[in-house]
Amino acid sequence: MEAAPEHVKQKLQRLFSEAAELAVEAEAAGWGGKTPHYSQIEEAAHRLARQMSCRMQERLMREVAAQRPPTDACPGCGGTCELTPLRRTVQSLDGPVELLEWKGSCPRCRRDFFPSAGSLGLGQPGVDAGAGAADRLCGGRDALG
């Protein structure tokens, strides 16, 4: 983010502040006028951060997918195959993230392949889900409830 133009940094800070204010309003409504324990405040902040992380990961992965050429070589025979976009969900450190990745189908080899998987770290042991990853959901309960 250090390389981002100053107007982008300023807008991001303003949006972070607005998101925090809205999340505080939503959380406070759920406390019913009672004083929350600090751990409740901290958990609410972490829910918002995890939700933002998941949305940012999805957006950045869409950028990566958009740069992908529409064809790739079959890993079996080397023939040129068309790629089609496929959506799937992976478990990030912050919760489930919907990704767009490319799938190739080789008519000669009669096999499917995912050319971006290895280079992006997808489908690798211990990457799609880690120990306790199911406990870190950003989709199950978002920052607003």
Rounded Cα–Cα distance for residues 95 and 127 (Å): 13
Q: What is the pLDDT of residue 119?
A: 57
User: Which is higher by pLDDT, 120 or 97?
Assistant: 97
Length of the chain equals 145
Domain limits of the chain?
37-135
Tokens standing for 127? Answer: 């990457």
Find where tokens 């999340």 sit.
23
The pLDDT tens digits of the residues spanning 41-65 come to 999 999 999 999 999 999 999 998 8
pTM above 0.85, yes or no: no
Q: Which residues pair with 71 in a beta bridge?
A: 82
Q: Does 129 have pLDDT greater than 90?
A: no
Q: Is the pLDDT of residue 77 over 80?
A: yes
Q: Which residues pair with 104 in a beta bridge?
A: 83, 113
Report the C-alpha gap between 116 and 92 in whole angstroms: 17
